[in-house]
Structure 1
């Protein structure tokens, strides 16, 4: 059993200093300030969040659709995360587009083997309780009833009716506004170097790829996304198109805007999108619906998502006054409510115990959580 003493700092300091103001950092700050803590946030980019990986993301909340390519714990955390998003958004000061009309998965007939493989993996990784009432096989008229824009273009598919999506940029903006109104000390355009942390009772590192020294095996995975304006399509929900070379998702947002992605390249190259990626993404979208051929390209976006070797998230504690959250990979919006909730619960517990001169029993804490493998202890 491991039990480690905390050292204290001056009471004039904030309770928590958060490093990194992307999706995770903002959500951690929001939950902690709502819990009554004094919080400071430091972000190298701007208040909009345009430097963060979450700025580029489509923000689909699709645990079952992801189950074909993800660990079962990702599916479980994502399912709970999807349920938590509405209550998180409700408290924000500005509206955030949130939709829960499901995810549709379709394929062209020559690619039916991809659909069979997808189904096998999905049923292997997804909990039985989630599958019950969470998957409907669609044929012909039923598919066209669910998604009229695809009438006569696809004849088979799956519908995951409980899944959803949100607008990532509206969320980041509303979180920034909420933090400002709640009195969080916001330090935009302020990068924090390793070992030169601001003074606080507790530091929470949410810097993603900026935390390489702490996570030596952290790597960036390049993702490329197209944003377009396509008034003539009319999709009602996110659609995934299965394909052996370039499976894509198309997520409809407000005002006939669509996010199309995503390539996934083992590279940390942040240079502009390649012609090949743009052609593959746009050609796949055109094969889904020909009206995409008349769409206007708004943005070609690139960013790198932080990933650990097992592609699973991690909450790390050094036994003193530093917590770290990293490795959300391609599941940031899906997992964020749960993973940030877990690190907030841990932070609050550490601070509560320190206030009465007690220390955290790490092993007992970890064993009592729903996903103990999420937590790692790493002394400095």
Structure 2
């Protein structure tokens, strides 16, 4: 089975891995000149299905609960399993209760336990929620590791290549996001910052609840932190706006004042493809299988979508049933 995967974002790399481990001969074509620069490059990398269900449908939890295990197997050493800590200022205690009522998989923590979990937050928050089974990774390191692992498995990569042709392949997997030109998709712009400060240490993603501008801070290596993110209904890939910059920095400062003295290492914008219901789809059109609409859950949902696509490649008899699996989950949700 010779399969062409179009796109080397998180969906394309995950699909290539699922196909390769099942014995397919895989070629990945990417119009960019290397890994990076797409929406996946600017992701938070939080494998947080329980937290995400505060605003997402049940299928996000059902499809994402095994993502950390998948990434552990595909990219050994890249996943940090320390959970997610969610905190709120005393004046926003109602937001904390609302979040708790809309999610599962958490337990409440008091000020003493918050200090045990994250000593640098001592004296700042009285109440929080801990989601102990969640995890995170650095998207850039994980994508590089997955690329290297795929290359070692014999997957061919063609960067800077026109992926429009698919001659000589048995199947094609379309993973090009907004570039697919699917009129049902809309762009959801996410803006993020990377800050550097040696004055803050965090062991896990920390989410700060705020009624106007909720924030997440994801620790990276070398005293760096990814600060995100906005959700703007826009397909613009222009620079981060002044308003977003102020909001992100203000929220980071509210989490810990040391962020006020941090260096702004990088700003970034990613436009995530989303269907009207914000849920992903794996669809077939002849010999072409499309994975799209991962919205803001790329690293969380790409493994499940990749497994579905690989099932379609290798199980022709089950194509129709598998193609409708997500639709059934939407209806049940």
TM-score by length of 2: 0.94
What secondary structure sits across from 2:231 in the alignment? Answer: strand
CA shift in 2, pair 1:361/1:260, >3 Å: closer
Q: Is the 8 A contact 2:205 2:216 kept in 1?
A: yes
Q: What is residue 201 of structure 1 aligned with on the other side?
A: 170
CA shift in 2, pair 1:373/1:44, >3 Å: farther
Q: Choose from 117, 130, 137 the match for 2:98.
A: 117
Q: Is the 8 A contact 2:185 2:275 kept in 1?
A: yes
Listed as ranges, the matches of 1:284-299 within 5 Å are 284-299=251-266
CA distance in 2, matches of 1:362, 1:50: 32
Q: Tell me which moved more, 216-225 or 175-184.
A: 175-184
Q: Choose from 274, 281, 286 the match for 1:307.
A: 274
Give the superposed CA RMSD. Answer: 1.8
CA distance in 1, matches of 2:10, 2:231: 20
Q: Is the 8 A contact 1:43 1:189 kept in 2?
A: yes
Give 1 or 2 for the bigger CA radius of gyration. Answer: 1
Q: What is residue 33 of structure 2 aligned with on the other side?
A: 46
Q: Choose from 212, 217, 233 the match for 1:266.
A: 233
1:366 Cα deviation (Å)? 5.0
Consecutive unaligned residues of structure 2, counting only runs of 5 or more, are none
Q: Is the 8 A contact 2:71 2:78 kept in 1?
A: no
Listed as ranges, the matches of 1:153-192 within 5 Å are 153-192=124-163
Listed as ranges, the matches of 1:1-380 within 5 Å are 15-47=2-34, 49-90=35-76, 96-122=77-103, 131=104, 134-193=105-164, 196-212=165-181, 215-318=182-285, 320-350=286-316, 360=317, 362-365=319-322, 371=326, 373=328
1:170 Cα deviation (Å)? 0.7
CA distance in 1, matches of 2:312, 2:329: 12
CA distance in 2, matches of 1:374, 1:206: 22
Consecutive unaligned residues of structure 1, counting only runs of 5 or more, are 1-13, 91-95, 123-130, 351-359, 376-380
What secondary structure sits across from 1:170 in the alignment? Answer: helix
Q: Is the 8 A contact 1:204 1:323 kept in 2?
A: yes
Q: Is the 8 A contact 2:283 2:323 kept in 1?
A: no
CA distance in 1, matches of 2:149, 2:71: 16
CA distance in 1, matches of 2:299, 2:190: 15
CA distance in 2, matches of 1:364, 1:298: 47
1:230 Cα deviation (Å)? 1.5
1:364 Cα deviation (Å)? 4.5
1:221 Cα deviation (Å)? 0.6
What secondary structure sits across from 1:101 in the alignment? Answer: coil
CA distance in 2, matches of 1:198, 1:189: 18
CA distance in 1, matches of 2:148, 2:74: 14
1:348 Cα deviation (Å)? 1.8
TM-score by length of 1: 0.83
Q: Is the 8 A contact 2:217 2:225 kept in 1?
A: yes
What secondary structure sits across from 1:99 in the alignment? Answer: coil
Q: Is the 8 A contact 2:282 2:323 kept in 1?
A: no
CA distance in 1, matches of 2:11, 2:283: 14
CA shift in 2, pair 1:181/1:272, >3 Å: same
What secondary structure sits across from 2:75 in the alignment? Answer: helix
CA distance in 2, matches of 1:118, 1:163: 16
